[in-house]
Amino acid sequence: MTYFPGIETIQYEGPSSKKPLAFKYYNPEEVVMGKTMKEQCRFAMSYWHTFTYMGSDQFGGASMVRPWDGSNDSMEKAIERVHASFEFMEKAQIPFFCFHDRDIAPAGKDLKETNERLDIIVAVIKEEMKRTGIKCLWGTTNAFSSEIFVHGAGTSCNATVFAYAAAQIKKAMEITKDLGGENYVFWGGREGYETLLNTDTALELDNFARLLQMAVDYAEEIGFTGQFLIEPKPKEPTKHQYDFDTATVLAFLRKYNLADKFKINIEANHATLAQHTFQHELNQARINGVLGSVDANQGDPLLGWDTDQFPTNLYDTTLAMYEILMAGGLTKGGLNFDAKVRRASVEVDDLFLSYIAGMDAFAKGLKVAAKLIEDRVFEDFKANRYASYQDGIGKDIMEKKVGFKELEAYALANGTTPNVSGRQELLESILNQYILETK
Ligand code: XLS
Ligand code: CA
Ligand code: CA
């Protein structure tokens, strides 16, 4: 049975190819900075956006009809989605997938039945993983869609909901371990608030930390060695999400002594919702040693919400790969396309075309970033810009040899040296040149 008849495995054909169903820049076996592109990019498919999203939005229902969704039985449908998704990943050459518990199996009448259903689907997924060699990048819990989470999950005012969320996370961690998941993600979809008039933020944050500590303890108990990741997002669905951005999450983790147990999963669209650039969030994670993984998508600058579009902006993919390479690569993380086709892209091959667009954009970004790093374009410029800290009074500051009194004496005697240009426009035009000329 094939759900994508007529579509062969997508091949690299190079930048001059006019064939839509071909890679122009992503050449999996090509070596860039000591690793193949496949190893550098670690691309992943998001199960939810690719196999459960049918095009609905706030104003209308499903716009897409998928051939694998023919059955009226929700479990049969879930099984067919597994088969279709692995055929898709194989043909698109995507080596990893990411999932929420509720993406892969429909909820049953109670938690027990829901968990039994998960076990059935996980067995099918394992068979497909064995057949194809495709791996699980990360698993997570959907503790936001069900109405029971209306006040939050780990931050709910209702202790029975906290317990339910914990039970759900426990099961999702078990299946992620069973699937060999390399990471486990926490995105606090309802962990935030609408109004402070009814919210005890101190208690909610303490409880959220308690929940995370329980996850750490349970991982140890069951021998789950995957990396825990927190995914920041400033708003949506709640007005104010506790995991606002990387800096906020770091402060939270440090306060609750969880900083050595978690890294960050940076999503591009969440960065821009927080009024940051994608690069800023990656940079902050990198310099703090917590860059864990990446949700590779993009938002629309004209829309104020999480549009989860496929990433095609070469500036963003270049500067993202720049930060990732500077961090030493993705290690256990990956580039997960937490991205969905537009509502009007209703045809099945749109799924391939969108992944190709994203993979090519990141492959090109990888090559440009590698060249910028190899040529030390920005790093040499920065070294020179901060050269005054290499000797004299600058070195004394760096080495903590001076305090206010010594610095006052220095300033009185020497004044300051004249400002020199930051050369931003020059650097921007060099960046353009590298994007255009890197082969
Ligand atoms: C939603 C988030 C979500 C997480 C996983 O905005 O991006 O999809 O990545 O729960
Ligand atoms: Ca995400
Ligand atoms: Ca998102």
pLDDT values of the chain reduced to their tens digit, one per residue, 439 residues: 899 999 999 999 999 999 999 999 999 999 999 999 999 999 999 999 999 999 999 999 999 999 999 999 999 999 999 999 999 999 999 999 999 999 999 999 999 999 999 999 999 999 999 999 999 999 999 999 999 999 999 999 999 999 999 999 999 999 999 999 999 999 999 999 999 999 999 999 999 999 999 999 999 999 999 999 999 999 999 999 999 999 999 999 999 999 999 999 999 999 999 999 999 999 999 999 999 999 999 999 999 999 999 999 999 999 999 999 999 999 999 999 999 999 999 999 999 999 999 999 999 999 999 999 999 999 999 999 999 999 999 999 999 999 999 999 999 999 999 999 999 999 999 999 999 999 9
- Ligand 1 atom closest to residue 48's alpha carbon, by position in its atom list: 8
Query: 336-357 burial string, b = 16+ CB within 10 Å, else e?
Result: bbbbbbebebeebeebbbbbbb
Question: Among candidates 98, 281, 282, which has minimal Cα distance to 184?
Answer: 98
With H, G, I as helix, E, B as strand and everything else as coil, classify residue 298: strand
Distances (CA, A) of 104 to 46, 63, 72, 109, 364: 11, 21, 16, 16, 32
CB of 102 closer than 6 angstroms to any ligand 1 atom: no
Active-site annotation holds for 151: no
* pTM exceeds 0.95 for this model: yes
Instruction: Look up residue 67 and give its DSSP letter.
Output: G
How close is the Cα of 375 to the center of ligand 3, in Å? 34
Residues lying with their CB under 5 A of ligand 3, a single-atom ion: 269, 306, 308
Alpha helices in 237-333 (DSSP H): 246-255, 268-273, 278-287, 314-326
Catalytic-labelled residue, pool 100, 270, 276, 280: 100
DSSP state of 309: B
Q: List helix spans (H) across 43-134.
A: 47, 74-92, 101-104, 111-132
390 Cβ contact list (under 8 Å, min separation 6) = none
In whole angstroms, how large is the CA radius of gyration of the chain? 24
Catalytic residue check, 103? yes
Atom 10 of ligand 1: nearest residue by CA position: 187
Determine if ligand 1 sits within 6 Å of the CB of residue 191.
no
Residue-level pLDDT at 1: 81
